[in-house]
Amino acid sequence: MAQKAPNKAVPLARSTRWRLLFLAAFLALVVYIAAGDGLLLDVREQERELTKLEVQVDRLQTENDSLRRVLDRLDNDMDYIEKLAREELGLAKPGEAVIPLKEGD
Protein backbone atom coordinates (compact mmCIF):
# COMPACT_ATOMS: atom_id res chain seq x y z
CA MET A 1 0.00 0.00 0.00
CA ALA A 2 1.14 3.43 -0.79
CA GLN A 3 1.23 5.99 1.96
CA LYS A 4 -0.37 9.33 1.47
CA ALA A 5 1.81 12.34 1.90
CA PRO A 6 0.83 14.32 4.97
CA ASN A 7 -1.36 17.28 4.13
CA LYS A 8 0.57 20.30 5.38
CA ALA A 9 -2.08 22.75 4.18
CA VAL A 10 -4.38 22.04 7.14
CA PRO A 11 -1.84 22.76 9.89
CA LEU A 12 -0.68 25.82 8.00
CA ALA A 13 -4.25 27.06 7.75
CA ARG A 14 -4.77 26.53 11.50
CA SER A 15 -1.49 28.25 12.24
CA THR A 16 -2.45 31.15 10.00
CA ARG A 17 -5.84 31.45 11.70
CA TRP A 18 -4.21 31.58 15.13
CA ARG A 19 -1.77 34.22 13.95
CA LEU A 20 -4.59 36.31 12.49
CA LEU A 21 -6.63 35.89 15.67
CA PHE A 22 -3.64 36.90 17.79
CA LEU A 23 -2.97 39.89 15.52
CA ALA A 24 -6.61 41.00 15.70
CA ALA A 25 -6.61 40.67 19.49
CA PHE A 26 -3.35 42.59 19.71
CA LEU A 27 -4.67 45.38 17.48
CA ALA A 28 -7.89 45.55 19.51
CA LEU A 29 -5.81 45.87 22.67
CA VAL A 30 -3.70 48.64 21.13
CA VAL A 31 -6.82 50.54 20.05
CA TYR A 32 -8.38 50.10 23.50
CA ILE A 33 -5.27 51.37 25.25
CA ALA A 34 -4.87 54.32 22.88
CA ALA A 35 -8.52 55.41 22.92
CA GLY A 36 -9.57 54.09 26.31
CA ASP A 37 -6.70 55.68 28.19
CA GLY A 38 -7.67 59.12 26.93
CA LEU A 39 -11.26 58.51 27.95
CA LEU A 40 -10.14 57.47 31.40
CA LEU A 41 -8.23 60.73 31.77
CA ASP A 42 -11.33 62.68 30.68
CA VAL A 43 -13.43 60.90 33.29
CA ARG A 44 -10.89 61.68 36.01
CA GLU A 45 -10.79 65.34 34.97
CA GLN A 46 -14.58 65.52 35.03
CA GLU A 47 -14.64 63.91 38.49
CA ARG A 48 -12.18 66.53 39.76
CA GLU A 49 -14.30 69.29 38.24
CA LEU A 50 -17.45 67.81 39.81
CA THR A 51 -15.79 67.69 43.23
CA LYS A 52 -14.66 71.30 42.86
CA LEU A 53 -18.17 72.39 41.87
CA GLU A 54 -19.74 70.48 44.77
CA VAL A 55 -17.42 72.31 47.19
CA GLN A 56 -18.39 75.61 45.56
CA VAL A 57 -22.11 74.76 45.87
CA ASP A 58 -21.66 73.97 49.58
CA ARG A 59 -19.82 77.26 50.14
CA LEU A 60 -22.47 79.24 48.29
CA GLN A 61 -25.28 77.53 50.20
CA THR A 62 -23.59 78.46 53.48
CA GLU A 63 -23.19 82.05 52.29
CA ASN A 64 -26.81 82.11 51.14
CA ASP A 65 -28.00 80.87 54.55
CA SER A 66 -25.96 83.57 56.26
CA LEU A 67 -27.42 86.27 54.00
CA ARG A 68 -30.95 84.99 54.68
CA ARG A 69 -30.32 85.31 58.44
CA VAL A 70 -29.08 88.90 57.97
CA LEU A 71 -32.09 89.70 55.81
CA ASP A 72 -34.43 88.23 58.42
CA ARG A 73 -32.79 90.37 61.11
CA LEU A 74 -33.10 93.45 58.91
CA ASP A 75 -36.81 92.72 58.45
CA ASN A 76 -37.59 92.01 62.12
CA ASP A 77 -34.93 93.37 64.49
CA MET A 78 -35.01 97.16 64.94
CA ASP A 79 -32.10 97.07 67.42
CA TYR A 80 -29.93 95.41 64.76
CA ILE A 81 -30.92 98.07 62.21
CA GLU A 82 -30.05 100.83 64.70
CA LYS A 83 -26.70 99.18 65.45
CA LEU A 84 -25.83 99.01 61.74
CA ALA A 85 -26.90 102.63 61.21
CA ARG A 86 -24.66 103.79 64.03
CA GLU A 87 -21.63 101.64 63.17
CA GLU A 88 -21.59 101.71 59.39
CA LEU A 89 -23.26 105.01 58.55
CA GLY A 90 -22.20 107.06 61.57
CA LEU A 91 -25.79 108.10 62.30
CA ALA A 92 -26.92 109.40 65.69
CA LYS A 93 -30.20 109.93 67.50
CA PRO A 94 -31.47 113.49 67.87
CA GLY A 95 -29.44 115.22 70.57
CA GLU A 96 -26.48 112.84 70.24
CA ALA A 97 -23.13 113.82 68.80
CA VAL A 98 -20.91 111.44 66.85
CA ILE A 99 -17.28 111.75 67.87
CA PRO A 100 -14.92 109.95 65.48
CA LEU A 101 -12.05 108.17 67.20
CA LYS A 102 -8.72 107.21 65.73
CA GLU A 103 -8.33 103.51 65.15
CA GLY A 104 -5.68 101.88 67.37
CA ASP A 105 -2.55 100.44 65.80
Interval 33-65: pLDDT, tens = 777 766 767 888 899 999 999 999 999 999 999
Share of the chain above pLDDT 70, in %: 84
Distance between CA atoms of residues 39 and 47, nearest Å? 12
Residue 2 pLDDT more than 60? no
Distance between CA atoms of residues 90 and 25, nearest Å? 80
Average pLDDT of the chain to the nearest whole number: 84
Share of the chain above pLDDT 90, in %: 39
